[in-house]
């Protein structure tokens, strides 16, 4: 079996024991083959403490890390040459699929389609000469063709970071985030439960270099808001500031979304 793996013909030879009656034929699985190929028993070693019982009620066992195993070498006569054994281990490692690091989009589950209410799924178009990220209605893949739209994710995240930082600075106890689509627009609202804007700040908070004279009054800085405003406008949208009825302030940014073919 070790030789078959090295020759890369193992999948053709160990599927079923030939010559046995059909009722007694035994089909080899990948797990069976790997367990045999990785067992150090065949090179004269005895390995202990490989598993531990998680629950004495269900008798469920889990495999321990290799660093916790107890290995005794040369306990019996080997039947496989060690050099062959370790060559096989290297081949097994080389055939493992590389695990990809997956990141959850920051707006996962928050953006809803304004037309049907389904969640917008996140994707990236890498076939284009200039790859871009986009949100598309989950309804598209299941129930027929609908319009697909995209936004520049880097701009959206930069604006969102500015809004979130601003809200956390002036919130008393909580900050809330809401995302939605409206026609060809993506809207993100960040709200806090602080003192809110005063009447003057509502008018000029997004002006360049606007700052409050007294930080203790709970007013909002405007540099980050001005950057957010400019980025939104470059993306075909804008920014809206208002005070909430129950206290606190909310800022809604709007991004124009491009149609997908």
What confidence tens digit (pLDDT) does each residue in 131-154 have?
777 777 766 555 445 455 556 677
pTM value is: 0.42
Q: Supply the pLDDT for residue 55.
A: 62
Q: Which of 161, 159, 137, 163 is nearest to 148 (CA)?
A: 137
Would you mind telling me the total number of residues written for the chain in this entry?
261
Residues of the chain with pLDDT under 50: 16, 143-144, 146, 213-221, 261
CA 192 from chain centre, in angstroms, equals 27
What confidence tens digit (pLDDT) does each residue in 210-256 have?
665 444 444 444 557 777 888 888 778 888 888 988 888 898 988 88
CATH class, range 100-261: alpha beta
C-beta neighbour count of 196 within 10 angstroms: 21
CA–CA distance, 72 with 104 (Å, rounded to integer): 44
Question: 238-243 and 148-150 as β-strands: parallel, antiparallel, unpaired?
Answer: unpaired
Name the segment(s) of the chain with CATH classification 3.30.565.10.
Answer: 100-261
Residue 209, classed as helix, strand or coil, is: coil
Q: Supply the pLDDT for residue 217.
A: 46
CA–CA distance, 3 with 62 (Å, rounded to integer): 30
Q: Which of 234, 235, 238 is nearest to 254 (CA)?
A: 238
């Amino acid at each position: 079996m070790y030789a078959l793996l090295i020759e890369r013909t193992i999948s053709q030879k160990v599927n079923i024991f030939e010559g046995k009656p059909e009722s007694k034929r035994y089909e080899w699985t990948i797990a069976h083959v790997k367990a045999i190929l990785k067992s150090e028993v065949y090179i004269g070693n005895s390995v202990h403490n490989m598993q531990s019982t998680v629950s004495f009620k269900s008798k469920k066992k889990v495999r321990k890390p290799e660093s916790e195993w107890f290995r005794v070498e040369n306990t019996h006569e080997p039947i496989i040459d060690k050099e062959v054994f370790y060559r096989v281990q290297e081949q097994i490692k080389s055939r493992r699929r590389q695990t990809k690091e997956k990141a959850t989009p920051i707006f996962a589950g928050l953006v809803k389609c304004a037309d049907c209410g389904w969640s917008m799924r996140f994707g990236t178009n890498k076939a284009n000469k200039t790859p871009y990220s986009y949100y598309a209605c989950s309804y598209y893949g299941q129930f027929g063709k609908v319009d697909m739209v995209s936004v520049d994710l880097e701009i959206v995240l930069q604006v969102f970071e500015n809004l979130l930082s601003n809200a956390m600075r002036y919130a008393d106890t909580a900050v809330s985030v809401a995302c939605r689509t409206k026609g060809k627009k993506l809207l993100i609202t960040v709200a806090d439960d602080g003192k809110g804007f005063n009447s003057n700040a509502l008018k000029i908070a997004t002006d360049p270099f606007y700052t409050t004279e007294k930080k203790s009054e709970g007013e909002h800085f405007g540099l980050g808001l001005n950057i957010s405003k400019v980025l939104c406008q470059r993306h075909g949208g804008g920014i809206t500031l208002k005070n909430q009825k129950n206290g606190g302030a909310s800022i809604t940014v709007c991004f124009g979304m491009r149609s997908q073919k």
